[in-house]
A and B are shown apart, each in its own frame.
Chain A
Amino acid sequence: MSEVLAPAPASVPHTSSVSSSRKVAKVALIGNPNSGKSSLFNHLTGLNQKVGNFPGVTVDKKTGISQLTPNLKAQVIDLPGTYSLYPKSLDEKVIIDLLHDKKSASYPDVLIITADASNLKRNLLLFTQLADLKIPAVLALNMLDVAEKHGVKIDVAELQKQLGVPVIPVNARTGSGLAALKIVLSQELEKPKSSFFQVPDELLAMVRQIRYYFELSNDYLAWHYAHQYQKLSFLSEDDKEYIGELVKKYGFHSNALQASETIDRYARINELLLDTMRVTRAENNEQVSNKIDQILTHKIFGYLIFFGVLFVIFQAIFAWASYPMDMIDLGIASLNNWIHSQAEGPLVDLLTEGILAGLGGVLMFVPQIAILFAFIAILEETGYMARVTFLMDKIMRKFGLNGKSVVPLISGVACAVPAIMATRTIDNWKDRMITIFVTPLMSCSARLPIYTVMIALVVPERYLLGFLSLQGLVLMGLYLIGFVAAIVSAALLKWVLKTKERSYFIMEFPTYKMPRWKNVGLTIVEKVKAFVFQAGKVILAISVILWVLSSYGPGNAMEQAEERAAAELTTLNLEEADAEAHLAGQKLEASYAGQFGKFIEPAIRPLGYDWKVGIALLTSFAAREVFVGTISTIYSVGDSENISTVKEKLLAEKDANGQPFFTPARAFSLLIFYVFAMQCMSTIAVVYRETKGWKWPILQLLYMTGLAYASAFLVFRLFS
């Protein structure tokens, strides 16, 4: 059965004619977390990586093509890091869905099992389980240098003999040993020769029944079916019932049997290591890390340093990212101008105002995402992220959050989009969902223009005690309200959200390492690509829809608006700039967006808004800061860049009774609305991409809009 690279042209008909007699081998990379798996994946595939979906879970499926020999390629799939074949989290479940289903499209021909030589005993547990599945495998033994530094000497030849698979020493940091690994992979590999676990005699009859019923190739696989049938998504309900009855009949106690299997395996591993591993210096190998930890997890310096790190990250995505963002903005604007100078017409408008504007909206996030992920990759690579969790766990746990939720929440003050992508570092599904759910409540930088305009409108420029700016205090209050809402919502969700998955904190505390810059770079590329291609599609689509809504009207309403504006022009005696602004305002009123504003007016009247604000609510869904632009258009401000011009126009706006429209009650109602409302298509798109479905973004939209509506209503009542 060494069919690893045997010809099977039918399954992959598109391979090049050079290797016509070969198919592309499917290789799966599997190993413990921190065993160098991702580095090895990066070395094997370089930039030939693709991120896809595992069905039904939120974990990314990373695949890549590796050139093994000049005319032989392999498709490498990177499986989530795990300590055993018994999954403890939803993410790990994809491993058994893949390895236990021979019919799965990605079922591997061969496994590369990575192991950390400096921590061999624990790493071999997963190896022995995989070996018992009898899938052809290679063991990539990583970090031998670290092991040797700690006085651990490993007899690789003897280890290979005992384990029954090729053992290739590699250094995932430098890439040494990679050539040897590729050569071994290009050869026909046999199934692992050694077995490490025997199914207990009294259960053999049951295991055999499952094995023959499902036509499985070995007992251990059938044993796993008995343990995990409820978790295997490829089994039908009938199949599950069949196994369920057998399990009941034989009194199969999954937990107890799993525990004794693990203990047995460790006993075998201890025996095996007696022959293959020699420890010459039994000194504690974590001294350096421990010394660093005395400072980095110190009760004062620990938090000070952590807040310093957060501050730098925050500064970077808030301030540094603004330069490339301005350049993108400028680039798109000048491209638009250039196109307009070349041609005019509705199609050109669609291209510039719809598609290019949407594209600009997508690209705008790239600098923030790149910068945030550069930091996060470094925090992860060095091992500092584990310390962050350690420091913050007790505080964050009270609110149903995770120690790792701190980084996304703080990043959310700059922008929710990269922040939500950063929640990927949270392993626990429930903690991750809660963090994603509450992050958009943190006041992001796009809310700032609305805050500034509205505050300038109704809060007097006065100073309390001579130095405390009243406007500044209100602004800070808005940020605080957002933060409190996030924390309270998290605590609420903690009670509402039910999971079958139990949450553990138990995790390896990695020793400090220098970051591998190649991994940092590839993380940035991967995140940017994922955002642009997956969330970008949604943003572009919504952007075009919004453009259509605000540029077209029912029937000939737009033409009528133009005529009316032209007619009014003579009576009002406007200057040219004002005339153009007046025309734009009239057209927006006549458009579908204007119709929409009038349509929802009854619904928003309790909040104090009229149909004009309704239009701005709709268009600012593209991005909150668009609110200011739309308000300027609808009130025919002309120059929307100048806050004081906007302010003057808005102050002059009168309601039906001739009183000023923007009363403090209305302004505060709008402010509170924007603190809470999910007015951001990019956030929705990224939540869709991160949760792999529409359920969470829609729930979030309903919750935040509901909260915004209720609070704005209360505020309006209170102030008027």
Chain B
Amino acid sequence: MIALLRRDLAIAVRAGGGFGLGLAFFLVVVVLVPFGVGPDTATLTRIAPGILWIGALLACLLSLDRLFALDFEDGSLDLLATAPIPLEAVVGVKAVAHWLTTGLPLTLMAPVLGVMLNLPGQGFVWLVISLALGTPALSVIGAFGAALTVGLRRGGLLLSLLVLPLYVPTLIFGAEAARRGAEGMAVNTPLALMAGISFACCALMPFAAAAALRVNLR
């Protein structure tokens, strides 16, 4: 499992892995927002937590279709499916690798972009905490979507249609926690609910994703 994690990380980081692509996309989205809504700092302050959450979510979505597709094409997914580790663990490891290469860098980059959107000082710590707790859920739910669409030709487009509605609860609680943090209110309730969703997804979604993969590999 460690070897698989290392391999996936190496593939993602090396050339053609699209490691920086998600981050660059996040940056571009955040840069585009002031052009769309105007440079008024009061408006930007108000919408900053939501924009940062949506940007992170879309950047996360961008790299999902590569999660299983490359391994499916060159046949290594078949080998992984017949390997002595369960397919659920393979899915879990791949989701972890995806999180380490997209969710974690996005979380670390969010405060920098928060400065650009004039996020209030007290909001930074809650933004980072909510993203750190929420992005694992995005990766695992995305792994399920990627497993559903792995064999399809126009999979990428379908993937976003399937995955985005599943992101709704995570987004609501995550953005709510970040917003309350920025406005100096108590964040316990949304943060706890989102952490619950996140952990439940990490615990259960690999099983659904592995079931979908088995169907697709049949």
Asked if A pairs with B, the answer is no
